[in-house]
Amino acid sequence: MLRVLCLLRPWRPLWARGCASDGAAGGPEIQVRALAGSNQGITEILMNRPRARNALGNVFVSELLEALAQLREDRQVRVLLFRSAVKGVFCAGADLKEREQMSEAEVGVFVQRLRGLMNDIASSAILGLIETTRGLLPGAGGTQRLPRCLGVALAKELIFTGRRLSGTQAHALGLVNHSVAQNEEGDAAYHRARALAQEILPQAPIAVRLGKVAIDRGMEVDIASGMVIEGICYAQNIPTRDRLEGMAAFREKRPPKFVGE
């Protein structure tokens, strides 16, 4: 069991203007905190919409987009974790009750925003699967991400049936990287995610960022074009102080001290 962490700063609320929140005790649906000590550089986004099981509604999406926009400009953030404040729930997917009250035009705008959000956080296509059980086509990218993860045949089976998967099943299919047994506190997955974040944390932040760009953009094109994208990213990393520090640390047989420059 990991010990309770001291906070570098407390949960920071991010409000969506002119909207009522469904968060616990009238609080914001999305909250942000940065961890301290050996975890400095890890920032958490807390999803706090208990009555709707963290479903993706207008306020929730607005606050999450605002949080991501702010964090994108924060150079202190090395790793970002998404965490649920609702015990036993991560995210229920689209808020279909709210969507039912929207006009067709409003639905189109909302789904477009949601698709952009999913691209931002590179979320699993599994969030869209339950829509097929409500007469909807996955509209936030599920029809595109899932075939890329699992192949066309299995993606069609899951989307056409609207089948819900357990964590163990998702892991067996390769849809998620890790599946862990639940603990008494109900936060075993969070602790596994934070352990993974601690592995990423000491790596050179520019190299990690450019690696992510190379992988994400490369998966959208043929392999020859992907190699070009990798070359562009690699060239951007060459003149960084972190690369020189990494080479020096290797030569001097010491841990590197990366600064993100």
Q: What is the pLDDT of residues 21-54, one digit of tens each?
A: 455 556 799 999 999 998 999 999 999 999 999 9
Query: Has residue 148 got a pLDDT over 70?
Result: yes
pLDDT at 161: 87
Mean pLDDT of 219-236: 93
Record the pTM.
Answer: 0.76
pLDDT at 12: 55
Between CA 97 and CA 167 the distance in angstroms is 26
pLDDT at 208: 92
pLDDT at 176: 85
Query: Has residue 123 got a pLDDT over 80?
Result: no
Mean pLDDT of 227-240: 94
pLDDT band of 63, cuts 50, 70, 90 = very high
Residue type at 3 in one-letter notation: R
pLDDT at 90: 87
pLDDT at 131: 52
The per-residue DSSP string of 200-258 comes to HTTS-HHHHHHHHHHHHHHTTS-HHHHHHHHHHHHHHHTT-HHHHHHHHHHHHTS----
Residue 68, CA distances (Å) to 3, 63, 85, 194 in order: 27, 9, 18, 19
Between CA 126 and CA 76 the distance in angstroms is 30
> Six-digit token pair at 137?
């086509």
In CATH terms, the superfamily for domain 30-125+176-201 is 2-enoyl-CoA Hydratase; Chain A, domain 1 (3.90.226.10)
First to last CA, the chain: 35
Between CA 211 and CA 148 the distance in angstroms is 19
The per-residue DSSP string of 33-86 comes to EEE-GGGTTEEEEEE--GGGTT-B-HHHHHHHHHHHHHHHT-TT--EEEEEESS
Mean pLDDT of 98-121: 84
pLDDT at 13: 52
Query: Has residue 260 got a pLDDT over 60?
Result: yes
Residue type at 181 in one-letter notation: A
The three-state secondary structure class of 15 is coil
Query: Has residue 168 got a pLDDT over 60?
Result: yes
Give me the sign of the Cα torsion angle 239, 228, 80, 29.
positive
Query: Has residue 1 got a pLDDT over 60?
Result: no
Mean pLDDT of 7-34: 58
Query: Has residue 149 got a pLDDT over 90?
Result: no
For 156-167, write each residue's pLDDT tens digit.
998 888 888 888
From the list 230, 240, 239, the residue with the least C-alpha distance to 260 is 240
- The ranges assigned to domains in the chain are 30-125+176-201, 204-260
> What phi and psi, each to the nearest 5 degrees, are found at residue 34?
-105, 140
> Six-digit token pair at 1?
């069991």
> Six-digit token pair at 2?
């990991």
CATH classification for the domain delimited by 204-260, as one of 1.10.12.10, 1.10.3470.10, 3.40.50.1000, 3.40.50.460:
1.10.12.10
Across the chain, mean pLDDT equals: 82
pLDDT at 214: 94
Tokens 């959000």 label which residue?
117
